[in-house]
Structure 1
Amino acid sequence: MNDIKPIAQMTDGIVLAKFESLKPRSESYQSEAQLEDELIENLISQGYEKLDIHSQKELCENLKTQIERLNNVKFLPSEWERFLKEYLDAPSDGVVEKTRKIQEKHIHDFIFDDGYLKNIKIIDKKNINNNHLQVINQLNQSGSHANCYDVTVLINGLPLVHIELKKRGVSLQEAFNQIHRYSKESFNTQSSLYKYVQIFVISNGTYTRYFANTTAENKNNYEFTCVWADAKNRAINDISDFTATFFTKRVLLEILTKYCVFDVTNTLLIMRPYQIAATERILWKIKSSYETRKSGSINAGGFVWHTTGSGKTLTSFKAARLACELGFIDKVFFVVDRKDLDYQTMKEYQKFQKDSVNGSKDTKELKRNIQRDDNKIIVTTIQKLNEFVKKNSQHEIYNKHCVIIYDECHRSQFGEAQKNIKKSFRHYYQFGFTGTPIFVENASGAKTTAGVFGAQLHSYVITDAIRDGKVLKFKVDYNNVEAKFKSVELEKDEEKLKALENKKFLLHPERISEVTKHILDVFDSKTHRNEQYTVKLKRLNGFNAMFAVQSIEAAKLYYEEIVRQQQNLPEEKRLKVATIYSFAANEEQSANGDIIDEGFEPSALNSSSKEFLDRVIEDYNEQFKTNYSIDGDGFTNYYKDLSKRMKNKDIDLLIVVGMFLTGFDAPTLNTLFVDKNLRYHGLIQAYSRTNRILNKVKAFGNIVCFRNLEDATKEAIKLFGDENSINIILEKSYNEYMNGFVDEEGKKSVKGYIEICNEMVDKFPEPTQIFLESEKKEFAKIFGDLLKSENILRNFDEFDSFESIISDRVMQDMKSVYLQIREEALKSKKNDENANSKIDFSDVEFEVDLLKTDEINLDYILALIFEKSQNQEDGEVFKEEIKRVIRSSLGTRAKEELIINFMNSTDLSKLNDKEEILEKFYKFAKEQKDVQINKLIKNENLKDSSKRYIETSINKGFASSAGTDLDEILPAVSRRGGAREAKKHTVLEKIQKLVEIFVNI
């Protein structure tokens, strides 16, 4: 390891200022076993103890030894068993409870048999050098399957970090998928210490990533894995380099003890390197400014430029918490805008310190919190803090050392309030976080971010985030939907544009009608909204959208027009539309591009605007059975509920003027329609509502402009990136995706959609006739490329009129074959993880998420059966066609026999309508479900409580072996020779088959 050298390492920090690997790369072939051996050797050279254990029993024995060492105690066998049951391995504990023990409840008051009470810790957070690090490999553990794990790092005997390796050249996603298989099959079985894993690391040697062990479904995608990097955001990819930095003992222990957040939703978050680097820079600035007596000046602070969507609030939250631990700091103020007090981060502060959040309308509560000695952190709004300093000119807090952190310093922190706060506090250390700083170019005479907060301490700009896959690119459409208004829409001069807006040229009824029609026409394709619906009229998939308009009057006109144009549509096909706005006072000194901030004072609106807002909220109340208004706290509560429903995708389209265009974070939102004059930071902020990562289907943020914002977009991108940023931040053109292109580095040629389709047709004209393993692998790779290409092209309007090269029928067969190959590959892996199969599918990434965008649901299939039956088509031909449709869908494949049995047992010709076939099928399916459950219980001799477990599994959509539920329904079986585990495995697989058949029925 001596030939890998960190350069310019910070003395206190864990993120290197710069990292350069001097280790020459070997050109020789490296097997997975060799990669594993090299990793272990490197860890040993860094001070890890290599432990030669391979069973759960040995793991538990070592754990006892390590906990005794850490706490300087000796457990009697009976005491150790009681300690396990009471605390360390309580039978009811799952991953969440185990994570809570590491992150929050790492000390347990244990009473020994002699009555002696001692605090037993499982990790030492105060002195991290007291923790002992060991490394093990190839540990065997049984669950629903017997698994053999690659490399695990034990801290005080607990497996807190697990590393899954693949040989070089194999897709990194395969290692990610394997961890998820282990999570289902063995990690989380009863008494498994692997429930304690906090961090997963995956590597194929060439690339390495890490991610948190969490049960949160929205964080369990590959897109949420992270690269490790230095402070300049240069990725450290190779496993040797990653080991030399991330796995340095101090770095790993500080990440586990300082840079993890277990939030109020029981989700474990592990900070990314740029978040840690920024936090460390802030702490360094506070310490150095205190030591050099610079407090109370601009030199005692600074700002952090982390692009929108990169997690600034988490970084500022962690910086504030760690600043509290500095002995010389008396108070830490976390300052937000008024509307941000309902954000989840505020709940995190309440969890961290009760009563830290001050949300009342007067300053009395704020004053009381400031004066309390046990309240070191105060969360408040800039408006409230300004009121406090105006009313309390001679308070003792002004002479104390206070850290003031502004969560979003591009909003209202540049005005009079900022001046008053700085003038009052004599020993302040002030820091601002922003995704879009104010520079000289967009200041327009106002102060710059550096002029208010001091030097830039760390940056992670949009190009960094796109490169790392932390945010998405933008695809921007510029539309002129009505020719007679083209000259107005193309106007670039801001003064002329304002004059035209004042004359309401852009609010002409014809234009409002045409823009609305265009939105409704393209909405499904832009948001990937599936046109099929379930019986309950709930959309299966897709995203939602916002519509940014210039004024309150525009919001009113568009809302009414959308409602009018949807009147003749069936209820299930209408968009759920909402709008929100409030009074916005004109600010005298605002930077060029500011989105005027709307306050929470709808009472200040004129009567017409107020009356319309009343009506809109009434519509909302009727739709969602709520009871909001514009009076008192009613409007604030409407805002909060609207925010939640947008994040939950309960609303399809939200029309806004200023609200929600800055700071709002909803990963389900992928499209922004724009009929608003956006510039500079305001443009980037608004566009960035769409570019949060979610899953593979969400390929980029869709921007649909009804004004000429092309030059404004390019100017904004250049300001917050550089001359070359446009190609990085904006998506390729339709023609490039259709015909192919060379990537940004000019190295890799990317095939176009047309070439991929032709290749599929030429090589596999009869996809159902593929029998050779080598052909199956080639088919899976090419078809995966086709799915990825098609997923992107669906966002282009031009693609709607493209005449498909592959017929619908052949495409159905291809999807069916693709899913069949995937099932065979998965079955092969499950049967024997270490077997050398005929064909290695480990470098094939099956794009099942992209298939779900075309998902054929059960109701659609039943409606199709009804239509075909009314046409009196040939019975066998009819059935074969239905089978083809069923097999092409991931969600219905398992239901094929059930559906065909229903068709065989029902006189379809006597059905009157689609509703009747739905009713008859669901009745038939429920009867069959009961029959199959009872049959399974009888055949496997399961206990009486098993029916509830099976029903619960079907309702959840999966059968789990975690916890004790599955064990409790099994019959008495000897544990000798693994008989009980084999029985458990068999029963679990059979229950899972029932789940796949009857889920959603």
Structure 2
Amino acid sequence: MSEKSAIYERSTIAEMTNGIILANYEEILQVQDTYQSEKELEDGMIRDLESQGYERFYGKTSEELYKNLKIQIERLNKVAFTDKEWERFLVEYLDCPNDGMIEKTRKIQENYIYDFIFDDGHLKNIKIIDKKNIHNNILQVCNQIKQKGKHKNRYDVTVLVNGLPLVHIELKKRGVSLHEAFSQIDRYGKESFNTENSLYKFVQIFVISNGTYTRYFANTTAQNKNHYEFTCEWADAKNKVIRDLKDFTATFFEKRTILEVLTKYCVFDSNDNLLIMRPYQIAATERILWKIESSYQNKKCGKIEAGGFIWHTTGSGKTLTSFKTAKLATELEYIDKVFFVVDRKDLDYQTMKEYQKFQPDSVNGSKDTKELKRSIEKQDNKIVVTTIQKLNEFVKKNPSHEIYDKHCVIIYDECHRSQFGDAQKNIRKSFKNYYQFGFTGTPIFPENALGSDTTAGIFGAQLHSYVITDAIRDKKVLKFKVDYNDIRAKFKAAETETDDKKLKELEKRMLLHPERISKIVEYILNVYNTKTHRNEYYNIKQKRLNGFNAMFAVQSVEAAKLYYEEFQKQQENLPEEKRLKVATIYSFAANEERNAIGDIPDENFEPSAMESTAKEFLDKVISDYNDYFKTNFSTNGNEFQNYYKDLSKKVKDKKIDILIVVGMFLTGFDAPTLNTLFVDKNLRYHGLIQAFSRTNRILNKVKTFGNIVCFRDLDKATKNAIKTFGDENSVNIILEKSYNDYINGFKDEETGKSVKGYINLCNEIVEKFPKPVEIEKNQDKKEFAELFGELLKTENILKNFDEFENFEKIISDRQMQDMKSVYVDICEEIRNAGKDDQNNSNEQGIDFSDIEFQIDLLKTDEINLDYILELILEKTKEHDDIETLKSEIRRIIRTSLGTRAKENLVINFINKTDLKKLKNNGEILDAFYKYAKEEKKEKIDELVKDENLKEDSRRFIEKSINKGFVDYAGSELDSILPPTSRRKGAREVKKQSVLEKIRKMVEIFIGI
């Protein structure tokens, strides 16, 4: 080890509990030098893994990996393959020619045993991983494996399980941004991981580290999960993060831990996405399994102390945790049944799909309890997914049943909504040998309880917690930016009132006054685009908008009715493509009595019980919905539930811009595209946190916090709720900073560093780089990229503040266009430079590895194609010189990531079109899209002919263009290739060539 290497002294590591998550952890790292090279990190990690019992594999090539694989599979299964048998095993099962990443993942997670017939005729089950006895698996570590695809790559450190590379670690020297390691893995995925016969298709987990910080994430093809924001840190049971690579290696890569993560704590969902549980999810699962085991051994079943509750904040993935817990509980020999109990409105399509995949016929959502009874009595059905309403009906209709005497685990998802009702008490009284557990993001404590009942009183001890401050620190949920809007001074007395009785008196007279309703709707329409990052220009051909969507929480059904009508009224003169699509849903709240302070009254699915005027209006709302979406829902019976489910899906798909709600959707509903909640409703405690939390799911870099816009004074209520569900110091952690902070700068409480304000950033970049296009290729280029990245991040946040609308620009529009263009040029230059030699430096040797390029944030200001076409028509009237016109259009196109690839397409259109004959925007749009579609068809035909692709390839290329990306990890790309020899990698070369050509075509023709 060099003199510059860190010095390590091992202190005592907390003993393992019965699970893999440490009860608490003391850091190994005592003294650390400021510098460690990538090689030193790599060598140190390999030494640590060897000391932990990993075998060293010294091979460096794909061929050597395959030879080692044969040895390890034989060793695991205690068999010997002849060379021919091994080749046949690879072709038949392990390495099928058309297998993509998804098929490989399925083999690890589900189909890991293969019935192989040897040449002598005997059949044997061949395992590629032993999930029953995990210590039978052989762990090896290797490094610098070379593989060639589109480019030659060398991979840092790989962990082999039975010869298969299931975990890959990408390292960067200390000080380099972790985003760089993430980007490199993303690049490997496109360049070499998924080449033909690559064993790296089997990778389940990626780990990235720069020594100081370490994160892990799943290898997934899901485009919406393939962001740095979905990486995760490892932690102990008290949520203390384990960041340093030395500490991470000692805990996450402890042999039992990594094997259990791979075999128990991965979920391959019904959409073929691989999910890996986070440490707090694993800790909660282990605590519940421990509680069941200890309660069984100590004969505590049937008592409160046999269970407990999990407090995991809203948005942290409770349903996945409870799903995995239920599944693992079924594997306990003495457990006869596991009931997963949800509220009726939460038994949505996705939940049903996940459970149906796990166990067919485990889910039934209708009122009829005969189905439930059959499911309970099925001997081969160990898990039952049902609603609390139906399970309550079952126990009432079946006062005696053999299930009540059996050992049953009952898991309540979102237990804060059902824990105090009669249904839950009836269920508990009927079952004699139960182990009852609840999951909640907002427990009921004495301070927000109306009576003596609390979450702990109903469910037993708190078994694990992961509160909102933990989740924000770990960037698993976002902060809230809360605005208290007071543009209607004459109604302020009503908007600041907190007494429920007085509020009812003020409701019709002031809060539902037509003038107030009108002003609020006018305000929402004015700020909607800013709050949701909705692009100003509507893409006519794509018929979709960028950005996010919003929810509007109102006090009553009458308020929902008035607001819905006002939105229709104020938008009636707008063209359809410019209108916000507004929907609403509400039903009858059968019991207005609240069990805790802040309860949001639970609406049922019985619109027939509503007053006639409310039902008539709901009929009209659903009729409007049917007309727009060509559906056929109504307020009758199951049709209303189907409307609820369809509406839920359309909100998640951003097909609804604003959803007006009274109670439904304010708890439990998960739509990452929602970033704004408008509030004209008095919220308190858990109801407030639940409602606000509809907006704070992570999605991408553009979504930096949940926007809350209140039309009532909820300042005190917000702070009280935060203190209850966080701690005394939580307000600054949970709430976003002020407009003034971001404009003028502030001191970061976590780091103690000063953060530059927007004004300083603008002035500094204009002063240093007044003409960005003239920046030389030297250190200035790096400084510009760093400064402009900070400017983009700050501006992205400020766009959510109303005050920013009136901010006087420091940087002119022309300067900003040039800066964006230069910024993208620098980013592309650096990324292209690093493809073959893995060196993130430009041609002058300047190291850019510590720069995090904010490319995603440029997309919030995309100048889209329709706007450019309209601009061409406008500029045609100004310019007689076609070359001047083309030059100006080229400059504008290059500032936009979404249109850069279309530059030649647009310029060729200008060359081939008599623009002066086009009279209006409609005509130039029609002319361009007609031309572009013909070009697209011609280019697809040309590609199919030149590459001799199969006939079905046209459909695959069109589908890729429509999706906006090429699915390279599946088997479809392989299936369109012509017969090609596999000798010397000829087929792989062909595949990479076709892949690259289709990618370029997608960039050019997406949206056309």
Which TM-score band (shorter chain)?
over 0.9
SS in 1 for 2:26: strand
- 1:859 alignment counterpart: 866
Matching of residues 277-356 of structure 1 within 5 Å: 277-356=283-362
Question: What is the rounded CA distance, in whole Å, between the counterparts of 2:259 and 2:988 in structure 1?
Answer: 36
- 2:614 alignment counterpart: 609
Question: What is the rounded CA distance, in whole Å, between the counterparts of 1:966 and 1:406 in structure 2?
Answer: 45
Alpha-carbon distance, 1:360 to partner: 2.8
Deviations 1:509-566 (A, max 9, x none): 0001001101111100000000212223523410000000000000000000000000
Matching of residues 177-196 of structure 1 within 5 Å: 177-196=183-202
Q: Is the counterpart of residue 810 in structure 1 residue 810 in structure 2?
A: no
- 1:893 alignment counterpart: 900
1:396 to 396, 402, 411: 402
Alpha-carbon distance, 1:495 to partner: 3.0
Matching of residues 659-738 of structure 1 within 5 Å: 659-738=664-743
Name the amino acid aligned to 2:238: K
Q: Is the counterpart of residue 100 in structure 1 residue 106 in structure 2?
A: yes
Name the amino acid aligned to 1:922: Y
- 2:602 alignment counterpart: 597
2:762 to 744, 757, 760: 757
Alpha-carbon distance, 1:22 to partner: 3.4
Question: What is the rounded CA distance, in whole Å, between the counterparts of 2:660 and 2:369 in structure 1?
Answer: 34
Q: Is the counterpart of residue 790 in structure 1 residue 781 in structure 2?
A: no
Name the amino acid aligned to 1:885: I
Alpha-carbon distance, 1:1000 to partner: 2.6
- 2:919 alignment counterpart: 912
Question: What is the rounded CA distance, in whole Å, between the counterparts of 2:807 and 2:662 in structure 1?
Answer: 36
| More displaced stretch, 960-969 vs 256-265 | 960-969
2:929 to 922, 925, 928: 922
Over aligned residues, Cα RMSD in angstroms?
Answer: 2.1
1:65 to 54, 60, 71: 71
- 2:205 alignment counterpart: 199
Question: What is the rounded CA distance, in whole Å, between the counterparts of 1:284 and 1:404 in structure 2?
Answer: 15
Name the amino acid aligned to 1:881: E
Q: Is the counterpart of residue 574 in structure 1 residue 574 in structure 2?
A: no
Question: What is the rounded CA distance, in whole Å, between the counterparts of 1:261 and 1:969 in structure 2?
Answer: 32
Gaps of 5+ in 2: 1-6
Question: What is the rounded CA distance, in whole Å, between the counterparts of 1:420 and 1:945 in structure 2?
Answer: 59
Name the amino acid aligned to 1:862: L
Alpha-carbon distance, 1:90 to partner: 1.1
2:36 to 27, 30, 38: 30
Decide whether the 8 Å contact of 1:690 with 1:702 is kept in 2: yes
- 1:779 alignment counterpart: 784
Question: What is the rounded CA distance, in whole Å, between the counterparts of 2:313 and 2:991 in structure 1?
Answer: 49
Question: What is the rounded CA distance, in whole Å, between the counterparts of 1:981 and 1:331 in structure 2?
Answer: 50
Question: What is the rounded CA distance, in whole Å, between the counterparts of 1:762 and 1:957 in structure 2?
Answer: 39
SS in 2 for 1:20: coil
- 1:527 alignment counterpart: 532
| More displaced stretch, 953-962 vs 933-942 | 933-942
Decide whether the 8 Å contact of 2:311 with 2:466 is kept in 1: yes
- 1:214 alignment counterpart: 220
Q: Is the counterpart of residue 881 in structure 1 residue 888 in structure 2?
A: yes
Alpha-carbon distance, 1:928 to partner: 3.9
Deviations 1:930-971 (A, max 9, x none): 555566678778888876765555445445665584697579
- 1:847 alignment counterpart: 854
Deviations 1:442-501 (A, max 9, x none): 002251101111111100000000000000000001012222111111113333223322
Over 3 Å counting, the alpha-carbon distance change for 1:366 and 1:937 in structure 2 is: closer
Matching of residues 470-481 of structure 1 within 5 Å: 470-481=476-487
SS in 2 for 1:633: helix
Question: What is the rounded CA distance, in whole Å, between the counterparts of 1:457 and 1:984 in structure 2?
Answer: 52
Over 3 Å counting, the alpha-carbon distance change for 1:174 and 1:41 in structure 2 is: same
Decide whether the 8 Å contact of 2:158 with 2:167 is kept in 1: yes
1:236 to 242, 246, 251: 242
Decide whether the 8 Å contact of 2:588 with 2:604 is kept in 1: yes
- 1:646 alignment counterpart: 651
Over 3 Å counting, the alpha-carbon distance change for 1:934 and 1:344 in structure 2 is: closer
Over 3 Å counting, the alpha-carbon distance change for 1:926 and 1:581 in structure 2 is: closer
Question: What is the rounded CA distance, in whole Å, between the counterparts of 1:966 and 1:372 in structure 2?
Answer: 43
Alpha-carbon distance, 1:983 to partner: 6.5
Question: What is the rounded CA distance, in whole Å, between the counterparts of 1:947 and 1:403 in structure 2?
Answer: 52
1:90 to 96, 109, 112: 96
Question: What is the rounded CA distance, in whole Å, between the counterparts of 2:463 and 2:134 in structure 1?
Answer: 27
Name the amino acid aligned to 1:859: D
Matching of residues 182-581 of structure 1 within 5 Å: 182-501=188-507, 503-536=508-541, 538-581=543-586
- 1:583 alignment counterpart: 588
| TM-score, length basis structure 2 | 0.96
Question: What is the rounded CA distance, in whole Å, between the counterparts of 1:589 and 1:766 in structure 2?
Answer: 63
| More displaced stretch, 876-885 vs 439-448 | 876-885
Q: How many residues align?
A: 999
Question: What is the rounded CA distance, in whole Å, between the counterparts of 1:846 and 1:971 in structure 2?
Answer: 41
SS in 2 for 1:21: coil
Deviations 1:290-337 (A, max 9, x none): 111111111111111000000111111111111111112121111111
SS in 1 for 2:538: coil
- 1:620 alignment counterpart: 625
Decide whether the 8 Å contact of 1:229 with 1:235 is kept in 2: yes
Question: What is the rounded CA distance, in whole Å, between the counterparts of 2:304 and 2:995 in structure 1?
Answer: 63
Name the amino acid aligned to 2:874: E
Name the amino acid aligned to 1:270: I
1:999 to 984, 1003, 1006: 1006
Over 3 Å counting, the alpha-carbon distance change for 1:637 and 1:953 in structure 2 is: closer
Name the amino acid aligned to 1:60: Y
Question: What is the rounded CA distance, in whole Å, between the counterparts of 2:191 and 2:957 in structure 1?
Answer: 17
Over 3 Å counting, the alpha-carbon distance change for 1:565 and 1:36 in structure 2 is: same
SS in 1 for 2:884: helix
Question: What is the rounded CA distance, in whole Å, between the counterparts of 1:759 and 1:680 in structure 2?
Answer: 44
Alpha-carbon distance, 1:95 to partner: 1.1
Name the amino acid aligned to 2:662: V
Question: What is the rounded CA distance, in whole Å, between the counterparts of 2:576 and 2:48 in structure 1?
Answer: 63
Name the amino acid aligned to 1:330: D
Over 3 Å counting, the alpha-carbon distance change for 1:726 and 1:873 in structure 2 is: farther
Name the amino acid aligned to 1:562: F
Alpha-carbon distance, 1:923 to partner: 3.1
Alpha-carbon distance, 1:921 to partner: 2.0
Q: Is the counterpart of residue 635 in structure 1 residue 640 in structure 2?
A: yes
1:767 to 769, 772, 795: 772
Alpha-carbon distance, 1:675 to partner: 0.3
- 1:116 alignment counterpart: 122
Deviations 1:54-85 (A, max 9, x none): 11111111111111111111112222122111
Deviations 1:109-133 (A, max 9, x none): 1111222111111100000010000
Question: What is the rounded CA distance, in whole Å, between the counterparts of 2:404 and 2:228 in structure 1?
Answer: 48
Name the amino acid aligned to 1:758: N
Question: What is the rounded CA distance, in whole Å, between the counterparts of 2:594 and 2:922 in structure 1?
Answer: 61
Matching of residues 975-990 of structure 1 within 5 Å: 988-990=995-997
Over 3 Å counting, the alpha-carbon distance change for 1:365 and 1:912 in structure 2 is: same
Over 3 Å counting, the alpha-carbon distance change for 1:194 and 1:610 in structure 2 is: same
SS in 2 for 1:671: strand
Decide whether the 8 Å contact of 2:582 with 2:657 is kept in 1: yes
| More displaced stretch, 684-693 vs 279-288 | 279-288
Question: What is the rounded CA distance, in whole Å, between the counterparts of 1:969 and 1:124 in structure 2?
Answer: 36
| More displaced stretch, 488-497 vs 450-459 | 488-497
